[in-house]
Amino acid sequence: MFRFVSANARQSLRPVLLQNLGNNSGIIAPPPVPFTTPANGYSKFQRFNSYAANVSQPSKEHIEDYVSKLQEDPLVGKAIRDEAQIKLNYFKEQVVLFDQYKKLSDVEGRRAFSETFHNILNSFEDNELRSIFSTHDLRRYVAALNFSIYHNRTSRLASNKNVDRDQYSSSTSIDEVLLKKALLRFNDVLMKGELKNILNADSLVLYFNAMNQFQFYTESIDAWEQGVNDNKIGGIYLSEKVLSVVLPIAQKIERFSYEEICRIYELNTAKASDISPQLICSMGKISIAAGDYKKGLDFLESLLKYFEERKHNPSNANYYLGDLHLSFIGSCDDVVVAKHFFDKVINYDLPYMVKLKVPYVQKLMENCHKNNESLDTILYFWKATVHHYATDKRAVEINSRYSNLNNTMFKIFFKFYPELTTESFGKLKEIISDFNSIKPVDEIFLNTLITNYAWKDKVVFNQLIDNYTVFGINRTQVSYRVCLKKIGEIKGFTHEEISQKWSESLESLDEKRFKYIPNADWASIRDATIWSKEERDERIDLYWQIVHQYKNFMQDKSTCIRFVRNWMKNEHGYEDLKNHVVNGKDSELQTPNFKNLKRSVNFDQVFADTTNRK
């Protein structure tokens, strides 16, 4: 069977070395400790006339022999097997519940999902239970782990809500550190060879996908190389399913050259009568990334042939066709080639269906900028994509889709026009008008524009803020935070003007029935003043005045404690808090008569208790 170990691997696991290692699971005994007389001249008192003193401790070998004989007893053996079976049944029940709970979106459902996943992780840590896992059990465990990683990541990135840090960690979510530890724990068990008898390609694909999500690229290829060099299970690691996941990773970290990857593919498919579309798609992506567009087109043609032969059941082939088509859009440095594939999608001129995904268009626009294409070329791709999303009846309205697309476009725009000029200002107004002609300008569009605004001109900045009113936008709290943060990058704002923006933000919170000032809003006024990139020295006093005036509107005692402890890490943290927050003065603007915002904490008392200084 083919064995391949890369020449530039940091720790190549060669077959000869593996053969010489043998079994390294034995216990190495510590060296004998010689008897020495204590330095004080006295010997340790020992009892020689006691029966207990004459009883020798059983050796490790005797204990193991006793346990072995005990396990041979039919009744004891049955009890052990029964206990293991009970644990296995419990594990299977938890997996079934996990599959049910992962479909729920309410708070109780998410909490049950999280708790069930923890139970599944704990089951895997049971060595006795793990030893009786079947191939199916192992696959279900890795599937649960992979799904939880994916769910955690996508929930964080694709949420339409503004995720602020004013909310405590909830029992409804899964800690990312826990997920990483669980995945690396599985990696360790796999590398030790404990799963050889129950391992299959499906479990490996799920494992490598999970590792890929956390970008554990080097560890993945290390595990793959070790598996390839195992005479018992090497064939599993060279299966088409596994190669389709591993080879792109190997290219990404440059473990293998493009030529070596092609050689691996050829050697493992030479005798195959029907190559899987998944592997063909992966090789097509690898070819595009390497700049070998001709070979990439050959792989696309192979997928088309596969698609034509299975038109009665095209879903599987269609997915990989679409995936490879998108790679020509996002990964191809040749803009002419990329545009050809882009136009085919937006004009619906394809025998297969392709869903235009934002990351590929973002990469296309970035490639255009990298290759010194004109701004008009980049705006063509941006405007065509916005129109495609706004008019495609099959598309679901997703706010983050427009936000990510516009974010990339505005980043590039302000690189083209880093300074305010008549031309640049006119071009910006043209972009706003173009977007509004396709889809009404909304808060997300303006938030993204203001976040990327780079001209540092106060007049134009205020005009952008006025657009919330011009376009009749019902502002969320996010927009107030975005605007306050940006003030920290712009000169010319007086204390009164910044205080007024802060008051408007608080009035918005009160209207939205907030009972406290969230951390995200405290962060926005901090960025506008004491962390300001412009006129910081002139704004420090204003920050302390605002904190003093609204210190008791923090979320709760725990929030106060964290605030105090974070400031105490600074060199003069105690003095700053004591002089400016406890004994400071208010800003010139009076505190409004809020309907919902309440003074819910006693900051001065929390400060005294936390610092242990009265």
Query: Does residue 93 share a domain with residue 113?
Result: yes
Please say whether the beta carbons of 574 and 611 come within 8 A: yes
The tokens for 182 are 């669980």
Query: Does residue 183 share a domain with residue 86?
Result: yes
The tokens for 474 are 């019902």
* Domain annotation covers residue 299: yes
Query: Does residue 235 share a domain with residue 127?
Result: yes
Greater confidence, 291 or 613? 291
The tokens for 327 are 């790679």
The tokens for 10 are 């940091």
Query: Does residue 350 share a domain with residue 210?
Result: no
Residue bearing tokens 């997928």: 303
- The CA angle 524-526-528, to the nearest 5 degrees, is 70
Supply the DSSP symbol for 552: G
pLDDT confidence tier of residue 74, bands split at 50, 70 and 90: low
Q: What pLDDT, on a 0 to 100 scale, did the predictor assign at position 35?
A: 35
* Domain annotation covers residue 377: no
Supply the DSSP symbol for 530: T
Residues 109-122 pLDDT 10s:
888 999 999 999 99
pLDDT confidence tier of residue 397, bands split at 50, 70 and 90: low
Please say whether the beta carbons of 457 and 492 come within 8 A: no
Domain span holding position 132: 67-157+170-267
Q: How many CB atoms lie within 10 A of CB 76?
A: 13
Residues 81-110 pLDDT 10s:
678 889 999 999 999 999 999 988 888 888
Please say whether the beta carbons of 567 and 576 come within 8 A: yes
Residues 6 or more apart whose CB falls under 8 angstroms from that of 408 comprise 362, 365, 366
Query: Does residue 117 share a domain with residue 89?
Result: yes
Domain end: 267, 296, 329, which one? 267
Query: Does residue 130 share a domain with residue 75?
Result: yes
Q: What is the DSSP string of 67-93?
A: HHHHHHSHHHHHHHHHHHHHHHHHHHH
Torsion of CA 218, 221, 225, 227, to 10 degrees: 120
| Cα gap 216→225, rounded to integer Å | 15
Nearest to 356 by CA among 368, 346, 367: 346
Residue bearing tokens 């490996």: 204
Q: How far is CA 335 from CA 340, 350, 366, 373, in A?
A: 8, 20, 11, 9
**Lowest mean pLDDT, pick from 81-95, 260-274, 450-464:** 81-95
Greater confidence, 262 or 40? 262
Q: What pLDDT, on a 0 to 100 scale, did the predictor assign at position 60?
A: 57
> To which H or E segment does residue 435 belong?
helix 422-438
Q: What is the DSSP string of 112-128?
A: HHHHHHHHHHHHHH-HH
* Domain annotation covers residue 57: no
Q: What pLDDT, on a 0 to 100 scale, did the predictor assign at position 396?
A: 61
Query: Does residue 284 share a domain with residue 199?
Result: no
- Output the domain CATH number for residue 200: 1.25.40
Q: What pLDDT, on a 0 to 100 scale, did the predictor assign at position 163?
A: 40
Angle between helices 74-101 and 60-72 (to 10 degrees): 80
| Cα gap 549→565, rounded to integer Å | 20
| Cα gap 607→586, rounded to integer Å | 18
| Cα gap 288→52, rounded to integer Å | 77
Calculate what percentage of the chain has a pLDDT beyond 90: 73
Q: What pLDDT, on a 0 to 100 scale, did the predictor assign at position 68?
A: 61
Average pLDDT over residues 124-148: 95
Torsion of CA 376, 381, 384, 386, to 10 degrees: -110
Average pLDDT over residues 393-413: 86
In this predicted structure, the answer to whether residue 27 has a pLDDT above a threshold of 80 is no
Please say whether the beta carbons of 481 and 505 come within 8 A: yes
* Domain annotation covers residue 460: no
Residues 439-456 pLDDT 10s:
999 999 999 999 999 999
pLDDT confidence tier of residue 40, bands split at 50, 70 and 90: very low
Query: Does residue 176 share a domain with residue 103?
Result: yes
Q: What pLDDT, on a 0 to 100 scale, did the predictor assign at position 209?
A: 97
In this predicted structure, the answer to whether residue 23 has a pLDDT above a threshold of 80 is no
* Domain annotation covers residue 426: no
* Domain annotation covers residue 326: yes
In this predicted structure, the answer to whether residue 406 has a pLDDT above a threshold of 50 is yes
- The CA angle 22-23-25, to the nearest 5 degrees, is 150
Residues 309-318 pLDDT 10s:
876 666 678 8
In this predicted structure, the answer to whether residue 153 has a pLDDT above a threshold of 90 is no
Query: Does residue 129 share a domain with residue 252?
Result: yes
Average pLDDT over residues 279-292: 98
Query: Does residue 149 share a domain with residue 95?
Result: yes
- Give the ranges where 231-334 is alpha helix by DSSP (H): 234-237, 240-252, 258-269, 277-289, 293-309, 315-330
Query: Does residue 226 share a domain with residue 102?
Result: yes
Q: Provide the domain count of the chain.
A: 2
Q: Residue 194 burial by CB count (10 A; 0-12/13-18/19+): exposed, middle or buried?
A: middle
* Domain annotation covers residue 103: yes
pLDDT confidence tier of residue 20, bands split at 50, 70 and 90: very low
- Give the ranges where 192-237 is alpha helix by DSSP (H): 201-213, 217-228, 234-237
Q: In one letter, which amino acid is 206?
A: L
Nearest to 253 by CA among 217, 222, 215: 217
Calculate what percentage of the chain has a pLDDT beyond 70: 82
Average pLDDT, the chain: 86
Query: Does residue 290 share a domain with residue 145?
Result: no
Polymer length of the chain: 614
* Domain annotation covers residue 580: no
Domain end: 335, 355, 375, which one? 355
Domain end: 267, 292, 321, which one? 267
Residues 469-526 pLDDT 10s:
999 999 999 999 999 999 999 999 999 999 999 999 999 999 999 999 999 999 999 9
Nearest to 406 by CA among 425, 429, 427, 432: 432
Q: pTM value?
A: 0.80
Q: What pLDDT, on a 0 to 100 scale, did the predictor assign at position 75?
A: 54
Please say whether the beta carbons of 551 and 509 come within 8 A: no
Q: How far is CA 226 from CA 139, 205, 233, in A?
A: 20, 16, 10
In this predicted structure, the answer to whether residue 5 has a pLDDT above a threshold of 50 is no
Q: What pLDDT, on a 0 to 100 scale, did the predictor assign at position 155?
A: 75
